[in-house]
Structure 1
Amino acid sequence: LDDPIVTVHQSIGEAKEQFYYEKTVFLRCVANSNPPVRYSWRRGQEVLLQGSDKGVEIYEPFFTQGETKILKLKNLRPQDYANYSCIASVRNVCSIPDKMVSFRLSNKTASPSIKLLVDDPIVVNPGEAITLVCVTTGGEPVPSLTWVRSAGVLPDKTVLNGGTLTIPAITSEDSGTYSCIANNNVGNPAKKSTNIIVRALKKGRFWITPDPYHKDDNIQIGREVKISCQVEAIPSEELTFSWFKNGRPLRSSERMVITQTDPDVSPGTTNLDIIDLKFTDFGTYTCVASLKGGGISDISIDVNISSSTVPPNLTVPQEKSPLVTREGDTIELQCQVTGKPKPIILWSRADKEVAMPDGALQTESYDGILRIVNVSREMTGTYRCQTSQYNGFNVKPREALVQLIVQYPPAVEPAFLELRQGQGRGVTMSCRVLRAYPTRVLSYEWRLGSKLLRTGHFDLQDSTEFTVSSLSRDSYGIYNCNVINEAGAGRCSFLVTGKAYAPEFYYDTYNPLWQNRPRVYSYSLQWTQMNPNAVDRILAYRLGIRQAGQQRWWEQEITVNGNIQKGELITYNLTELIKPEAYEVRLTPITRFGEGDSTIRVIKYSGKDLTSREMWFHCGFEDGNICLFTQDDTDNFDWTKQSTATRDTKYTPNTGPNADRTGSKEGFYMYIETSRPRLEGEKARLVSPVFSVAPKNPYGATNTAYCFSFYYHMYGQHIG
């Protein structure tokens, strides 16, 4: 049962003819719980019930299915200004206590209002300290203030103090929308936001466009050439560009035209058009990007224009395609790029539309090399390298292809399998190849430990078998089948053993515990043997027993005569157990191979003062443990304990009889609630303790007679 929450909402009617004025208030109480919560309302010490006050209405919104309770105060009166309490209860299920929340309603109760003492937006430089201040301007009760960030959590270094948020050293990652939220559970929360912009300049790049009117690939004297520079700037409206030639400032003229591209087409881009290129125009051109607000280092980009400035060319070295490597290695794919200036190279998959190893569809390279670490088999395929327009010529991209072949060792099944078999019997092991590359030369070898048993090659088949026709003591152990290709080996492992499976304890023994002397008790231990015919005949069991909390085991052997059948119940009596101690019991089967798997259980003294094998059982549901009955974990819902004295006259008025069979109203009963949210066909199971009435007494004594009585009551058509 979570803490309940009360929220308040107002509905104010319009004034009519200056003398009629209505103000209605809704108090909503919500709590998460399992089982469903039940609510009650109080005004001061007065319990509010539906119909007890004409000015009060209590109801549930039909769509909430009992999760919400609303208290409606119609046309507020002076007595309605009071302290209201909502009590949430799950009727003491699992001893969960009721929980209460209170709200003071007054003529000053109002929803919150706030204002921000900061600008919007806020533009700052990286590393600066930023403080956001939010103050309340109204609201009763006094609202609480919190800050949230639209992009997720607040930065780790954020300091919060009431309505004040401080970021000591802001970074670009901290930019975004920050909102102050005020809440006092009256009406809707108030929210105001501001946007923090952190200045940044990054990703400076350039490209050269030969005369676009003649579709040239080269720079030619007498033709036009355009140099373009681009950066990413935040905020973009503060971005300015300056152009220089050989270190001297350039201004726009008839032959040197400086422009900026429309931000919607290519943001952060400036262009220098050189009309009618002359020999004297050769040189180093520099564009410098800066932000008007300062505080950020400028980005400077140099572009050399000369007779040696030529477009790029791409080739793949002859020995670099196809490239053969092994899974897990590091490999470098190479494209040789020539030209001046050398452009950025873009790598991508040519054979299918999949991401590159770094997760992007394209990977940039400044030297033409794509380095892949920890190559996997999925990376086999054809890769494309192509020139980018950035840091080079803005011409049709040049491209080349590189083929990558990844070899990997065989994948086989089973990776591990345990085989249990008795001596003198046969066993066959099969190892199957699932996939491998290359597959043309696959060999295998079978080994027992380090001893080589057989070798061979795969032809058309995809599996190999090894058979031991008659197991001996030397035949047991770990058999490995290694399937080998150029890239490595895959291994199937088989543990061939004669160990017997673990026994399985039987927990439904008829009256297993008894005592003949005051200070000690005895216990009838029963078990069955799992797959008794899987290995050699079980000769004996090693029984270990130790007192709970002790280290030392006391052991003895229990001899087995003849073969154990599947499902056969084996019995052994443990005696001289000290009251009221619990004991750990360990049971291990033994064959001529040796010890098998063990199993362990704990035996506990029941706490009953048993003087014989008879057990008297007499109680009523008044007991705290409901007569050792238990709720079934696999059903749909639970039974509820109730009495005439404890039931709620509103919610549980007809759940059971008005008195028990003795006439007492204090007697308890168990009932099931069958109304919503229960559905037809759902089950509630209340399970009694086990009363063994086995017709055959394993000890030869007279059976204990049990008389079991319970009283059934049906109230109306719905509840029993």
Structure 2
Amino acid sequence: QEARPPVTSVTWKKGQEVFSVTTDSKYTGGTVKTPSLTIGSVLKTDAGEYTCQLGNEVGHGTASVTLEVWSPAKLEFPHLVNIHRSPTFDDTDFNMTCTVSGSGDPMVEWQKNGESVDTDDFTVTKVQVTSGQYMYGQTEAKTNTLIWKVTKRVKYFTCNNITHFDGHYTCAVSTQTAGATTRDESKAFIVRVQYEARWSSGPTLTAAAPNDTSREIVCSVCANPQPTFLWTFKNQSLRKGIQVVGNKIILDHVTRDDFGAYQCMASNNINGQNRMAVFELSLVESGPARKPLGFTILSNHTSVTLTLQWRPGFDSGHPPQTFTLQYRASTEVTLRTWRDMFSHKTDGVTRYQATVTGLRPQTEYVFSLYAENSRPPAQGPNRSDTVSQTGSTTASPNIVINEVELTEDHMTVRWQYNEQSTRTKRSTSPSVSVVIYYQRDGGEEARYPPEGSVAAEKREVVIKGMFDVKATYKVWLKIYEGGLTVSFQQTKPLDTGVEIGRYALSFCSLPET
């Protein structure tokens, strides 16, 4: 600053505190002729109002400036090394917390194996402020916590879903500081869930014939940490000659005395506690197929279909198995065979399904099922015992066209639909939909909608287009239950060509397709 007489002194204050400007202090600066202030190693506590007071022989003058100290986003934890976490699958309180310091409001993003965490699996808390000593002289920081919803995910424990939460978790924090975006990413929480031994997907029955040279029995379990195994036979020590190799035993020469129940005891240590699970596996003599398991009729009945489901029984050492499904109306004697079936695997369990079509509405049917394995005829029979089920189809959908309005630019079709007629106490209501067909005399058949169908409960459609109000149109419906076409008979059919207003309706029975 220019002054007459010249400036002879410069004093710096922060608030009311006067501090010295020297070459070896935190504060350094210019000369009397060019006063300035340099603050070394800026901390959050250096923020505030700074006043420069200049003096000469006449008096003093002051000028002030406010310093705001902004610090970038910085992960305080975990920031040096990866953190290994090993919760137990039944720990409902397990969580991970990252701590960040820095100015501004942080945006926190949690990732698992490089992808955003699934909110169906985790709850993310709001950012909370905590006190302490942090980077850049910060006296407070922000925390964000990830809490797992383990009880929802592993309500039904399987070896597949228990490892669902295993992985590398990181939290990334970004803030706006002084007009610029800063970002920092944590080290990883490496999560590996601990759990006691549970059965995997292997068989619990093993078949052998007397005098077989070798047979293995495997204890198929999953566990973390890895378990150790102890084997017994009928709760007694194994006989000499049986080899124990980890989770399996090997019988070098099978005798009839070896048939029976073997106990596999799998133990591991979780948080200092020994956990042991016992599994029973049996060695049985080979023979015909065992009967199918869980034979049931599913609840998605329609008026013309019933769907059945079952699990394969034991193949008695002669895979593969085939299944024969037969059925008849309860009032009939003759059995018919249904051969269209498929298998699928869910949670390691194989199930078969067959949807029997072409049935009569409101009719009770008896179903029987048996299995056959590949046992050679010379060794004896291969067919299992038969299992049976009884189920009934629903009533036909009660749908009747009751009105059609025709103009030059649209056709409106309305129908009655008694939804309750398709329900029974033993079934859920199948989805019922319709496709509207119409045809002008001598013209081509058309449908609405062009693709798909219309829910029957809608009870009305408006078909836009160009129509001749003086012509005769035939209108009919094709009905679908659960995606299957069913035959349809109008309850009060009108004769073809009977005029109603300036158009005509014709209703017909549609062949089953």
Per the shorter chain, which TM-score range?
Answer: 0.3 to 0.5
Q: TM-score of the superposition, structure 1-length normalised?
A: 0.33
**Based on CA coordinates, which of the two structures has the bigger radius of gyration?**
1
Q: TM-score of the superposition, structure 2-length normalised?
A: 0.43
Per chain length, whose mean CA-contact separation is higher, i.e. which structure has more relative contact order (CA < 8 Å, sep 6+)? 2
